[in-house]
Amino acid sequence: MSVQKKYYINIYVLIILIVIGLTIGIGAYTFIYAEGGSYLTDKPSACANCHIMNDYYESWLKSSHHAVAVCNDCHTPDGFFPKYITKASNGFWHSWGFTTGIFPDPIQIKEQNKEVTRESCRKCHFDIVENIERESLETENVPCAGCHKDVGHR
């Protein structure tokens, strides 16, 4: 291996290391600045880090469920991996939406997240709803929140 060749490889490696280092550094700062750590918790105030959630947060404070359920109880599924995959996916799409500015206002829930909330009612209220969930009645798709609109937030 010639000296010249080694020299070029070293420059390439150096550039890559700088770029990777910068990415990690900027990423780490962004994570701290955006209070990224708070998103790993269950604190409802973390969801209102972005002011677009203020209305939902404030109406949850006044809702019937605020004493028994936080955002994550209804908006994330049970289990460590499903929960954090849901959080990561929402985190990505929320960042995407706010950075590009492409999202409906007032915000609208995505089908996948709606599915999560539908299932969440059953976490606590399964005993009540199991009797109305008969295949023959075709009630599978009737969402609880379709009628019980204000239980979580407005």
Partner 1 sequence: MDIKELPETKSSDGKSKMKNYRKYFLLTILFAVIAFGIIMLLVSIFEHKQEARNPFFRVVEISDTTEDPEIWGKNFPLQYDGYKRTTDQVRTRFGGSEAIPRTPTNADPRSIVAQSKLEIDPRLKIMWAGYAFSRDYREERGHAYMLEDQTFTERQIAAKQPGACMQCHASVYIPMKKLGSGDIFKGFEIMNSMPYEEARTHVSRAIACIDCHDPVTLQLRVTRPAFIEGIRNLKESQGIKNYDVNKMATRQEMRIYVCGQCHVEYYFKGTEKRLVFPWSKGLTVDSILAYYDAYSFKDWTHAETGAEVLKAQHPEFEMWNQGIHAKSGVSCPDCHMPYKREGAFKISDHHVRSPILNINKACQTCHKWSEEELKTRVENIQGKTFQLRELAMNALMDLITDIKEHRVQNSSSIQIAEAQNFQRKAQFLLDFVESENSMGFHAPQEAVRILGESINYSRLGQMSLQKNSRK
| Residue 136 in contact with partner 1, rule: CB under 8 A | no
By three-state DSSP, how is residue 96 classified?
helix
Q: Which of 17, 9, 14 has its CA nearest to residue 1?
A: 9
Q: Of the two residues 34 and 151, which places its CB atom closer to partner 1 in the complex?
A: 34
| Residue 126 in contact with partner 1, rule: CB under 8 A | no
Among the candidate windows 22-30, 66-74, 80-88, 130-138, which touches partner 1 by CB under 8 A?
Answer: 22-30
Burial 46-77 (b: 16+ CB within 10 A, else e): bbbeeeebeebbeebeebebeeebbbbbbbbb
Q: Pick one of 3, 81, 102, 104: the residue that binds partner 1 (CB under 8 A).
A: 104
Cα separation, 152 vs 64, whole angstroms:
7
Q: Interface residues for partner 1 in 69-88 (CB under 8 A)?
A: none
Q: Are the C-beta atoms of 90 and 113 separated by less than 8 Å?
A: yes
By three-state DSSP, how is residue 44 classified?
helix
Under the phi-then-psi rule, with left for phi > 0, alpha for psi from -120 to 50, and beta for the rest, what region is 79?
A: left
Among the candidate windows 16-24, 69-77, 82-90, 121-129, which touches partner 1 by CB under 8 A?
Answer: 16-24
Interface map 30-49 toward partner 1 (x if CB under 8 A): x--xx---------------
Among the candidate windows 15-23, 62-70, 81-89, 123-131, which touches partner 1 by CB under 8 A?
Answer: 15-23
Contact set with partner 1 (CB under 8 A):
2, 4-5, 8, 11-13, 15-16, 19-20, 22-23, 26-27, 29-30, 33-34, 50-52, 54-55, 95, 98-99, 104-106, 108, 146, 149, 154
